[in-house]
Chains A and B, each alone.
Chain A
Amino acid sequence: MVLVVLAAGFMLILLGLYGALIHRNILHMIVSFSVADTGVNLVLIAVGYMPGRTAPILDSNVSVADAVERIIDPVPQALVLTAIVIGVGVTALMLAYAYRLYQTKGTLDISKFTELKW
């Protein structure tokens, strides 16, 4: 089960990257990167998952004493949150840049922004 999720995550990453590296339209690239980011996040949580256990929250179901045996690893969950937030930030920024570049040239084709080269 975990392996399937992991594999799906990896597939999403590869698909996303393929899209990002093939499509010339900057918006398409940004969306593709989002897909890849999702794949990464999927991999992150899948790695922390342990079958048959519950969320790392102590409540009436999970007491402090048996937490070690009942909960899954909280760390990947914390990491994935950070990863998501950072991903959102970068995506927003890329969108803004895309908008700005569109303003200057009226196109979103990345291969048109090559004044800087060599």
Chain B
Amino acid sequence: MTKRIFVFGMLIGLGAIFIDLLLSYTPDSALNQTARYYAERTATDLGAANIVAAVIVTYRGLDTLGEVTVLFLTAAILVMVLYRDHGIGINKIPNRFLPPTGEMLGTGSRLLVPLILLMGVYLFANGHLTPGGGFQGGAIIASAVLLLLLTNPNQTFNLQLFSLTESISGIGFVVIGVLGMFFAGGFLDNRIFPIGQLGELFSAGAIPVIYTLIGLKVGAEFSSILVHLSEEKEES
């Protein structure tokens, strides 16, 4: 009980900070210097119609590289946590009994999966033009895997493929970033390819390429996380 009261008290303290923040907050009426720069220059400098995509992939590309690395790390550590036998005191939790997948579910998911995959690909391939992008596309791809897992938890996946996709797209991302240092203005500069015509599919230099790589990578990583978390299987 004392713990509850203490935690409550401390959260009131934190709440006080938040209230102060809230009270001092006034919405902007015009774009601040950074946002204004992006609004004015993205189209001409980078050739991307989706400014958010330009910020994510190029202006703050280093964050994004870090972000995909977070997912990579998570997937890798997950394998380490779940499959490495640390010797004593580990009780294998037996696989629970699962009823067979119904006909409806099986057929339905087989129908839906290609559509979902297509949707995912569309999202990351057009990320520089319309709302969407690598992460969203990747997440949607992974949702196809989730669907398959939900309908048939005993489904097996080619984990090797996931990790291959993950690594190669990761290396690709880094390589494109480094190329930017040699052929354009700096690390992750998208202008190593021509920036093309604003609004075209093949425009905005390396952004769609990077987004595709991110999409594949995120899709593979989320998928492997899902598969690993669903049931314990032997490591590939």
Q: A and B: direct contact (Cβ < 8 Å)?
A: yes
Q: A82 near B82 (CB under 8 angstroms)?
A: no
Q: B35 near A74 (CB under 8 angstroms)?
A: yes
Q: Mark A1-36, 1 if CB is under 8 A from B, else 0.
A: 011001100100110011001100000000000000
- Let me know if B4 is at the binding interface, CB within 8 A: yes
Q: Which secondary structure dominates chain A's binding surface?
A: helix
In this complex, how many residues of chain B approach chain A with their Cβ under 8 Å: the count is: 63
Q: A59 near B49 (CB under 8 angstroms)?
A: yes
Residues on B with C-beta less than 8 A from A100 are: 81-82
**A55-93 residues at the B interface, CB under 8 angstroms:** 55-59, 64, 67-68, 71, 73-75, 77-79, 81-82, 84-86, 88-90, 92-93
**B22-60 residues at the A interface, CB under 8 angstroms:** 22, 25, 27-29, 31-32, 34-36, 38-40, 42-44, 49-52, 54-56, 60
User: 13 A-B pairs, CB-CB below 8 angstroms?
Assistant: A17-B14, A18-B7, A18-B11, A74-B51, A77-B55, A81-B67, A82-B63, A89-B70, A92-B78, A96-B78, A96-B81, A103-B91, A106-B91
B residues contacting A by CB (< 8 A) are 3-4, 7-8, 11, 14-15, 18-19, 21-22, 25, 27-29, 31-32, 34-36, 38-40, 42-44, 49-52, 54-56, 60, 63-64, 66-67, 70-71, 73-74, 77-78, 81-82, 89-93, 129-131, 133, 135, 198-199, 218, 222, 225, 228-229
